[in-house]
Structure 1
Amino acid sequence: MNAIVSIARILVGALFVFSGFIKLNDPVGFSYKLQEYFSDPVLDIPFLIPFALVIAILLVVFELVVGIMLLIGYAPKFTSWSLLLMIIFFTFLTFYSAYFNKVTDCGCFGDAIPLTPWESFYKDVILLVLILVIFFNQKYINPIFPVKYHKWVVFASFMACFAFCYHVLMHLPVFDFRPYKIGNNIAKKMQIPADAQQPVYEYLWKFSVNGEEKIIKNNGEYPQIEGELLGVETVQIQEGYVPPIHDFVIEGEEGDITDQILQEEKVLLIVVYNIRSTEMEGFEAIKKMSEEAQKKGYKVVGLTASGEQLQKKLKEKFTLNFNFYQTDETALKTIVRANPGILILNKGTITQKKHWFDASDISL
């Protein structure tokens, strides 16, 4: 039993530390996932949405530190209870998401390892079994070094977590697992290979045959049957290939200019996914940089999901010399974890990406 508990302890502790660190690397992204859970269609607790970022930070820091506590053998009773309560909550949440198809990705490992709802649930079930082994055998949780140092290790872990979190919030995630990371070409990430998996559909043909209703299922060919067609229902039973970038579209008064922007050699993108919640203090630096970029031949483009009136007010307030174009808000949130954020493109390839706080570090 000592060996079994030791193995369970290492697996659970390492997984909690890894999962916590991945989410701590991108707390803003995890807060978006929590907002999805808090929304009306899922848990219907929208009053928590404004606090999603704070909750995300506290949750991932606690998750990571509890993992460390388990590995070093600190406060076995408190650690075991914390792990058990957390995994019961997570298992319920992932089952709810999977069974009712509410959230397509639980966000357990951020963008590093996307999991389907059912994969997340099975993962939590395995963790629950391991944690139950630990919970009922706490006496086998032995410290790996002198107990007098444990509090200092836990304290240092908390401080390191909050320091790292502050760094990524004021700059950008240290590790970027999204398709918009530096070095990626947006146009290439939007392409669908010729041999890509196609979606599979099932057709349900409803006929009236001699006064009786009859349903025939097939892959799409019209059934050879005598009777009156009442209707047909199409159901997707298998999803086809979805490119890493599938919702990036830039639209303005002149229409879709996505291809035009992705063919330009020198492009400066200013991403403001929501003007109402943007950090206004960043636009002095944005204004200075955009003017310098235009002098050096860059095409400066603002991307936002906000309406024309808000765009006009923002431009007038800071006398911005570039126009805003419409892009999907979810896509903009994925592109850069800053509002506003900055990207440099060279024929669609992302060469630089910065938080507005680091606007002065952009090399033109």
Structure 2
Amino acid sequence: MSVVFIFSGFAKAVDPVGMVIKLNAYFQHWGFHFADNNIWLQMLVGAMAAIELLLGVNLLLGIRRKLTTVFTVIFMLVMTGITLYVFLYDPVPDCGCFGSALELSKLETLQKNVVMLAASLFLSVRPQYILRLISERNQWITAVSSLVYVVSITVYSFRHLPVISFTPYKVGVNIKAAYEGNIPDQAAMELANLYFYTTKGADVTYEVLSDTSFTFLLTLPEEKETDDGNNDRINDLYDYCVDKHYKFIGVASQALGNLSDWIDRSGAAYPMLFGEPSQLKAMVRSNPGLLLLKNGVIIGKWSQNDLPCVDDQTKISEIVKSGNPTKSGLVLSLWWLIPVLLVILADRIWVGSKFYKHYIFKKN
């Protein structure tokens, strides 16, 4: 149970924008319409990630066993009810239990939650079966450090790009090869369905992917909600591309009216194409976002807060070097695991020394 909770909370923390999109699908089904950058949705995702990871840590280390098992039962009752609703009424394609990291069928999700609920009920009756791995005196250290860890990763991933990308549009992926059918695995199917078209409806996807030079794509999945605070930097990058003979293209969703509003607000002089909103949200988890292609291969990605600053002396190699935001999942895990293990080790040494002193006292 602790492994499932920790993995679920970690998956939401490293790609919180993906979870916001999944939550928004629920709310839109129920008649509530929010932008994907809505602050309340972001806070809800952050709270879910923190709760799940803390429940997992508490179960693993035996921290506040009675209180933890009660909260676990309440949490699993809510989650099981939601997954039962999803299974019966099919409001969304995927429940989003593990964010974008792992997609289960509706039946698999319901079965998993029923098993988890049964296990949580058992532990709530027998909390003494949870082994305590850290003393009551020092348990707050691991709890606080875990909370700081998950909140820090969530905030960083919201402000920049996901520290681990769960979408097919990773740096280094060859979209052109997938589009041509030369990558046969299932993960390439979404890449093969990429679609760009002009305002007149002409399909120019292959033309964009086949360009052997550098091609910057400014993704605008929700033009009406797009942050226009970086317009100067975007326009400077467009001027730089014109001078260096690189391509710079804006790719918006299908709303023509919103596109006109964006052009008026930003003073955009670059050419515009249209794409599917869901694909644009997967390509770069930012609004706006920037993606760099060369011969159909993704060689760089930037969020709106990390757009490259350029001048006449800037080399394209410097821009490319700054465009790989993803981190190793193992390294990110060690940022949490190593401090926790050190705290547990120090705690065991402290408890052992007290026991030894007490043993010597009794013996004497």
CA distance in 2, matches of 1:295, 1:195: 39
Equivalent pairs counted in the alignment come to 307
Choose from 70, 73, 77 the match for 1:84.
73
How many percent identity over aligned positions?
A: 25
Question: Runs ≥4 in structure 1, deviation > 6 angstroms?
Answer: 193-197
Between 155-164 and 100-109, the greater mean CA deviation after superposition: 100-109
TM-score scaled by structure 1?
Answer: 0.78
Deviation per residue, 1:211-239 (Å, 9 max, x gap): xxxxxxxxxxxxxxxxxxxxxxxxxxxxx
Between 166-175 and 319-328, the greater mean CA deviation after superposition: 319-328
Choose from 81, 88, 96 the match for 1:107.
96
Distance 1:140 1:253, change over 3 A: closer
CA distance in 1, matches of 2:270, 2:183: 38
**Gaps in structure 1 of 5+ consecutive residues:** 1-11, 198-240
Give 1:314's aligned residue. Answer: 262
CA distance in 1, matches of 2:63, 2:34: 32
Whether the 8 Å CA contact 2:248–2:270 is kept in 1: the answer is yes
Choose from 181, 190, 212 the match for 1:244.
190
Matched ranges for 1:341-360 at <5 A: 341-360=289-308
Give 1:120's aligned residue. Answer: 109
Whether the 8 Å CA contact 2:8–2:97 is kept in 1: the answer is yes
Give 1:303's aligned residue. Answer: 251
Distance 1:26 1:196, change over 3 A: closer
Give 1:227's aligned residue. Answer: none
Question: Are 1:143 and 2:138 an aligned pair?
Answer: no
Secondary structure of 1:70's partner? helix
Distance 1:322 1:175, change over 3 A: same
Letter in 2 for 1:338: S
Computed over aligned residues only, the root mean square deviation of the Cα atoms, in angstroms, reads 2.4
Q: CA deviation at 1:100?
A: 2.4
Between 109-118 and 260-269, the greater mean CA deviation after superposition: 109-118
Question: Are 1:281 and 2:281 an aligned pair?
Answer: no
Deviation per residue, 1:28-75 (Å, 9 max, x gap): 1101111111223xxx26277753222111111111111111112111
Secondary structure of 1:351's partner? strand
Letter in 1 for 2:94: D
CA distance in 2, matches of 1:248, 1:67: 38
CA distance in 2, matches of 1:252, 1:54: 37
Deviation per residue, 1:218-272 (Å, 9 max, x gap): xxxxxxxxxxxxxxxxxxxxxxx99233542111135111111011122100001
Give 1:3's aligned residue. Answer: none
Deviation per residue, 1:329-349 (Å, 9 max, x gap): 111111111001011001111
CA distance in 1, matches of 2:132, 2:25: 39
Higher gyration radius (CA): 1
CA distance in 2, matches of 1:321, 1:195: 38
Query: Which structure dedicates a bigger proportion of its chain to strand?
Result: 1
Question: Are 1:187 and 2:202 an aligned pair?
Answer: no
Choose from 241, 248, 254 the match for 1:293.
241
Distance 1:45 1:73, change over 3 A: farther
Choose from 154, 165, 177 the match for 1:176.
165
Whether the 8 Å CA contact 1:172–1:337 is kept in 2: the answer is yes
CA distance in 2, matches of 1:22, 1:331: 20
Give 1:206's aligned residue. Answer: none
Distance 1:48 1:280, change over 3 A: closer
Whether the 8 Å CA contact 1:343–1:353 is kept in 2: the answer is yes
Give 1:263's aligned residue. Answer: 210
CA distance in 2, matches of 1:313, 1:45: 26
Q: CA deviation at 1:171?
A: 1.1
Give 2:85's aligned residue. Answer: 96
Give 2:64's aligned residue. Answer: 75
Distance 1:262 1:193, change over 3 A: closer
Whether the 8 Å CA contact 1:171–1:355 is kept in 2: the answer is yes
Question: Are 1:19 and 2:8 an aligned pair?
Answer: yes
Whether the 8 Å CA contact 2:15–2:100 is kept in 1: the answer is no
Choose from 316, 319, 326 the match for 1:363.
319
